[in-house]
Amino acid sequence: MAEVDATHDPQLTSWVTAANAAGSDFPIQNLPFAAFRRAGSREPFRGGVAIGAEVLDLGALAAAQPFGGLAGQALAAAARPALNALMSAGATATAALRAALSEALRTGSPLEERLRRLLVPQSAAEYRVAAEVGDYSDFYASIHHATAVGRLFRPDSPLLPNYKWVPIAYHGRASSLRVSAFDVTRPVGQVLTAGAAVPELAATRRLDYELEVGVFIGRGNELGTRIPIGEAEQHVFGLCLLNDWSARDIQSWEYQPLGPFLGKNFATTVSPWVVTLEALAPFRAPWSRPPGEPPPLSYLDDAQVRGAGGFDLELEVLLDTPGMRAAGLAPQRLSRSNFRDSWWTVSQMVTHHTVNGCNLEPGDLIGSGTQSGPAPGEAGSLLELSGGGKRSIALAGGEQRTFLEDGDRVIFHAWCERPPFRRIGFGELAGTVAPAVA
């Protein structure tokens, strides 16, 4: 696991003054990566690093060759249109580049004059998904979400017998992954309305979001091999926010016996910025099971994972409706939860994914599943907050929701905060619902 080092020093400041502001998502202690270009241009995408309200252009920086050794090699990889080459370089190379960028961006750096010309305002940038994602798997790692959803469908037995033993996942659709700010078209599919004997083809009436953490794979493994639990994080590049949009009525009709299909594969959105595990080192959390719960099987158990396998990562969902925007009202928070409450850790998900010899590739994406907490206000989906559509959620201005309506904008934020360290943010993941295509 990455350790706290000089790059995490809370006293470090940057010559990019906005990065020093209290509450900034992107202080010099963070330095997350994205693939970007200037908005409206035909420039090629290339790697960028967030610092304050700016993007440091890694394509232009690589051309200047300011770093040698492993950091220089990693910088050259980061200059490409997607970050797969940087991800495949491995955790040691990523850490070397992050350390070099930290030195270059800190107050008093001799590179300030050269680098200042390479900054692009984030407001003037556009992004793509950080990697070319070959495969995407979505887990079901929150026991609080699984229990709440199971209670809606199986009140007498909310959790299936395997849940506490095996990290459950399904194979998602990589082709429909999009970056934040994408308009999600309301999907059409087969639904069976209450009391009907025959299904119909219709636009979903139960469109939902799922508050998730995304995990980008770094170095992969060969087909037929497995990644041991103690080495799993050496194969992880970083974390992002992920919204697995879900059509609950389509999903409930089709999911047996093979699981999610058209109710989920129409769109998944991710935040542009990927926060490295190195940046998150000060915010690790112990992982444990409550007394009386079954321990994980030996291949999913590790002393380091038990000691610091979790992440103290705060997550929140906000909703912004057309009516709220017209009235000049701010987006309303619907829920807040924490990734440390996940039943399974990132390491366990990666290890279980490969235990049968499945090969992961650099840039592959893993979703954590909806991250809900134990309290009612910590639910990561409208399905839970509305009790399956039975309870309306009161919004500012007098509106109500059970599920999403056309024009609704869903916003995710995430951050780590633990004194004396600087707050580390993930930026914003947002998406607006567009009407179904006739």
| 432: Cβ contacts below 8 Å, ≥ 6 apart | 183, 184, 407, 408, 409, 410
Q: How far apart are CA 408 and CA 393, in angstroms?
A: 14
- The enclosing H or E element of 375 equals none
* Catalytic residue chosen out of the listed positions 145, 235, 353, 413: 145
Asked if 333 and 318 count as a contact pair (C-beta separation under 8 A), the reply is yes
Q: How far apart are CA 62 and CA 75, in angstroms?
A: 6
At residue 219's C-alpha, the angle toward residues 214 and 225, to 5°, is 105
Q: How far apart are CA 176 and CA 173, in angstroms?
A: 6
Peptide bond into 420 cis (omega under 30): yes
Asked if 137 and 172 count as a contact pair (C-beta separation under 8 A), the reply is yes
Active site residue 352: no
Asked if 342 and 191 count as a contact pair (C-beta separation under 8 A), the reply is no
Asked if 237 and 94 count as a contact pair (C-beta separation under 8 A), the reply is yes
Strand 177-179 with 268-270, pairing: parallel
Q: Which amino acid is at 258?
A: L
At residue 426's C-alpha, the angle toward residues 422 and 428, to 5°, is 135
Please state the φ and ψ torsions of residue 233, each to the nearest 5 degrees. -70, -15
Q: Helix crossing, 69-78 with 91-105: angle to 10°?
A: 90
Would you please indicate which residues are annotated as catalytic (active-site) residues?
145
